[in-house]
Structure 1
Amino acid sequence: MNNQVELEAKTQNDSEKASITPSGEEILALLDIDSTTVKVMKQGIKRTYYRAVINWLSKYKVNPESTNLEKVKGYLEACYHLFELEAWEIALILLSTQLNTFKNQELGIQLGLWGYYREQINLYGKLFGKLNHQIDAICLKSLGIAYRWLTDSREAQNNLNQALAIFHEMGDKQNSAQTLHELGLLQADNGKDLESLTCYNQALILFRELRQYQGIASVLNDIARIYTNQNNYTKVEEIYQEIQKIYDSYLVEEKTKINHAWILYNWGRNLADQCKNLEAILYTNEAFNLFQKLDNRSGIAWSLYSLSILMLNLENNLSAYNYITNALDLFRKLQNKNGIALSCHILGRVAFRQKNYKLVRDCYKENIKIWYESQHLAGVAFALEGFARLAVVLEQPERGARLFGSAEILRDKTQRILPLADLPEYRDSIATLQTLIGETALKTAWDAGRVLSVEQAITEALGSDT
């Protein structure tokens, strides 16, 4: 399989190249907007807005190679004009229109699958508070998900909590379960595994009550990531056996859908964490191809990220560099800070092997800034370890030992174990420190690092130019 060809492959399927939106006539009929009626309206702002809606839906044209956002621009502009008319019910119908995509997903949801989260926020934000309690809760949930992908934890938490309260009040178990799952993902994004597991288990109870097998499989998939973080691969294996039984028994037709793509991706990540690199490549490539078919930009970016790690593990540095730079570029376009931070970490590892220490430092500076701003202490620990390794190769052993000590105390606090794949480089650095300064001096410097505050440790990491 030629990975570079895959990397450069088109992500749009044949139906999307033709037209991903229903015809203007079809959608205008669905919205019950008649051009003849609009023509005889009294001159004024209402008539102007309705004519704009008709023109955007019936006359806006794009070429087959336009971006997906450009292809649905007519719909989005029509929505905004309907908002100006305060035609909220009609706007909701338009936002709920099924597109001619692989999954025939609704417009509002599909924007998120493509990674256009700001557009989602604009639309659902304007619709919120204009119809009824149920629609408000759906808007809040959609806003929370979009903010989570943009790594705006405060807004995500606020919107998801409000949505959950409404769904609980309404007795809506399906949406409650989905919202709890999203809250679990949000906690996991912030490195809070225990809080994440609490939300996941609450969601799992509801999904099991509902016999909603796709939800069960998706939550189990994310629970497995927590145990992977703890290097508890026996538990991970048990979970994936349960997931496989669910798909074989209940979800055979779902194996081409987005949730299954994420399960394939996470299983590849799990195998990579165990250094089973060749098996991991097979699962990650399968996920990558499915994400491409679905044109899910977030999934594509994360798959590229994982493939870069696998290439790094196999010492294929050029492929690792190509994958991670493409992943980083896509994460920047998606404004996904967690993705940016993690990609900077991997790019820093690649730069280490190239002995490009300026790039190493630049990568870890951006990395540690993102993690500290989001108070992701496990991420800060990773970054400190990167700076520690840099200090060792630059023959600053005491500083390197202090940073390793600071990282260790953060790992203790967050209960995040160093991944198996990172152990060889970690051990090599410790061995070098022992050679350079001896066991006694190493312990003294290491212990000094353990008592530093997070801010002091970051200052230590950034305190010396290379």
Structure 2
Amino acid sequence: MENFPADSAINAPVETPMDDKSMVSPSVSRQRLLKRLQLNPATLRRISPRSRRSQYRAALNWLIHYEPPLDASNLDHVRGYLEAFRHLTEVEDWQRCQELLLLPLDRLTAEPLHKQLEIWGYYREQMEMYESLLGKGDDPLNLVCLEGLGKAYSCLGNYREAIACHEQHLSIADRLGDRQNQAIALGNIGLEYYYLGEYEQAISYFQNGLKLAQILGDRSGIGQALGNLGLALHGLGDYQAAIAYHQQDLAIAQELGDRRGIGQALGNLGFAYYALGDYSQALGCEEKYLDISRKMEFREGEAIALSNMGETYLCLGRYPEATESLQRALEITREIGDRHGEAEGLKNLAELHQHLDHRERAIGYCQQALSIAKSLGIPLVHDCEELLASLTGEST
């Protein structure tokens, strides 16, 4: 069964998003973008040397003239911004690169470009932007980059690298006396230890983050910390306590109108109800999480909801629905590079085919899951080893 952490806020200023629904906007919004970037095509000829001028011209061409194809993916819709960013890095124009990183996009989420890439599951494109800008600006920019890098490493299953980034984030926040960023970093470090199965250590970080959020009166941060504590308690097998924490997290997300937070809290509640064998409640929560994730185009959330629904269908003996949900969940995790989710998906499919008496197929899925889990160093290794032993024992 898979779960999802409460999201932590990026410390970028909140800005008014562009009016147009499309990612690459009509000319009026393009003019607004050029004004934001203080780029004027008429002044290009004054830039020297010629090699530098060529990079600016290329950046402008991507911003002004690029049109996505008719069957454009989400990445195609923002390709103009990403290519312009790359050309601006060539001339070390870090201020304009920062403007593109923090560029607000559509009306639905009003998220900046780098956060929208996370929602869509484009973690490597995120990392390219962060790595280019890290150390090229002031401390607030470094905090954004380190938090984002850590979360991207985490989504790709590289938890030790994620911890290193979050610890650097915490170090800068400590030096600045920035309590909000301290709370965010503590929560993110706790999540990495949670993924690694070190639940007691995770709880310590979550509790410290919660104390800071409470001191600050940060309702969003309080909800996130409560939700994360629920996950760790779930890991320790205290499902009733986990539900209590997730219900508090859900109430705060609803109070704030945080759609993504509402979805994640519902997903985590479903995860806990499943563990208690309350499959009706679990399905109800996961179906709502799936609906929210699809409307937001939140790929990882969609995969988690489908995976959890598939496991629940399996327990109910609804095998066709389980097959459809689990296969789609696996496809999404592979599309976005979520190795932890992929391992979970393969293990779930192994269990499904065990129930269907497809033992050889189940063994194949389980061996793949075990290989990935070992490479990530996650607790799923034990589950896969137990499942494989039962499968090979049955087949002999």
Using structure 2 for the length normalisation, give the TM-score. Answer: 0.90
CA contact (8 A) 1:267 1:283 kept: yes
Partner Cα distance (1:375, 1:288) in 2: 28
**CA-atom RMSD in angstroms:** 1.9
Match of 2:74 among 68, 75, 82: 68
The match for 1:420 is: none
1:189 is matched with which residue?
Answer: 195
Q: Which residue of 1 aligns with 2:363?
A: 361
Counterpart of 2:132, as a letter, is: K
Within 2, Cα distance between the matches of 1:42 and 1:164? 41
- Where does residue 4 of structure 2 map in the other structure? none
* Residue in structure 2 matched with residue 3 of structure 1 by the alignment: none
Higher mean displacement: 297-306 or 217-226:
217-226
Q: CA shift at 1:40, angstroms?
A: 4.6
Q: Does 1:50 align with 2:52?
A: no
Q: Which residue of 1 aligns with 2:267?
A: 265
- Matched with 1:392 is 393
- Partner residue, 1:290: 292
**2:313 paired with 1:307:** no
* 2:337 aligned partner: 335
Following superposition, the deviation at residue 198 of structure 1 comes to 1.2
Cα deviation, residue 388, structure 1: 2.2
Q: Which residue of 2 aligns with 1:108?
A: 114
Aligned match of 2:133? 127
C-alpha distance in structure 1 between counterparts of 2:359 and 2:394, whole Å: 9
Letter aligned with residue 362 of structure 2: V
Which position in structure 2 is the counterpart of 1:380? 381
Change (3 A) 1:31 1:389: same
Tell me which of 174, 177, 180 is aligned to 1:174: 180
- TM-superposed CA distance for 1:316, in Å, is 0.7
When the two structures are aligned, how many residues end up with a matched partner? 376
Q: Is residue 24–residue 67 contact of structure 2 (8 Å, CA) maintained in 1?
A: no
Residue of structure 2 in register with 1:223 after alignment: 229
SS of structure 2 residue aligned to 1:119: helix
Q: Which amino acid aligns with 1:38?
A: L
Q: Which amino acid aligns with 1:391?
A: T
Q: C-alpha deviations, 1:7-62, integer Å up to 9, x for none? A: xxxxxxxx999512443211011111001111454560121111111111110012
Distance in 2 (CA, whole Å) between partners of 1:206 and 1:21 is 39
Q: Deviations over 1:59-95 (max 9, x none)?
A: 0012464111100000001111111111101110121
Task: Give the aligned residue type for 1:48.
Answer: S
CA contact (8 A) 2:194 2:202 kept: yes
Query: Which residue among 38, 44, 48 is the counterpart of 2:44?
Result: 38
Q: Does 1:142 align with 2:144?
A: no
Q: 1:351 to 1:385 in 2, by over 3 A?
A: same
CA contact (8 A) 2:199 2:236 kept: no
DSSP-derived class of the 1:131 partner: coil
Tell whether the 8 Å contact from 1:288 to 1:300 is kept in structure 2 after alignment: yes
Q: Deviations over 1:215-261 (max 9, x none)?
A: 111221121122223332332243234335535xxx52424x21221
- Counterpart-to-counterpart distance in 1, 2:360 and 2:162: 35
The structure with the larger Rg is 1
The CA deviation string for residues 373-418 of structure 1, in whole angstroms up to 9 with x for no partner, is: 2222x312101110122133224xxxxxxxxxxxxxxxxxxxxxxx
Give the alignment's TM-score, normalised by structure 1: 0.77
8 Å CA contact 1:304, 1:324 repeated in 2: yes
Q: Percent identity, aligned pairs only? A: 26
Match of 1:254 among 248, 254, 257: 257
Contact 2:247 2:265 (8 Å CA) reproduced = no
The higher relative CO (CA closer than 8 Å, separation ≥ 6) is in 2
Q: Which residue of 2 aligns with 1:20?
A: 23
Distance in structure 1 (CA, Å) of the matches to 2:267 and 2:328: 17
Cα contact 2:117–2:123 (8 A) shared by 1: yes
Question: 1:451 corresponds to which residue?
Answer: none
Q: Distance in 2 between matches of 1:17 and 1:269?
A: 37
Q: Which residue of structure 1 aligns with residue 123 of structure 2?
A: 117
2: CA distance, partners of 1:172 / 1:71? 35
